[in-house]
Amino acid sequence: MRRSEFERAVRDEFGSRGSALIADLVLSRVGSRTAAEALAAGVPPREVWLALCEETDVPADRRYGVGRLEPKRR
């Protein structure tokens, strides 16, 4: 997962409250840091995304592949 995919996934799943969750919610799975702190420290976006999903009880079927663009059609 790229950073842009992470940002899209957060926007799609959490809408307008996504930026507040990234900045304020402490995620134990990534060293008791916020998502923003974890990303700045070099934690892979996918790991941060899964930690955010776990902490906010996002159903498992919405955790994988979210944020990915649809394949280009020719």
- pLDDT for 5-63, tens place per residue? 999 999 999 999 999 999 999 999 999 999 999 999 999 999 999 999 999 999 988 88
Q: Which domain holds residue 36?
A: 3-60
Structural domain includes residue 71: no
Q: pTM (2 decimals)?
A: 0.84
Structural domain includes residue 15: yes
Neighbours of 37 (CB within 10 A): 17
Number of domains in the chain: 1
Between 19 and 69, residue with greater pLDDT: 19
34 bridge partner residues: 26
Structural domain includes residue 43: yes
Q: Supply φ then ψ for residue 33, to 5 degrees.
A: -120, 160
Residue 72 has pLDDT above 60, yes or no: no
Residue 68 has pLDDT above 80, yes or no: no
Residue 73 has pLDDT above 80, yes or no: no
Helix (H) or strand (E) holding 27: strand 26-27
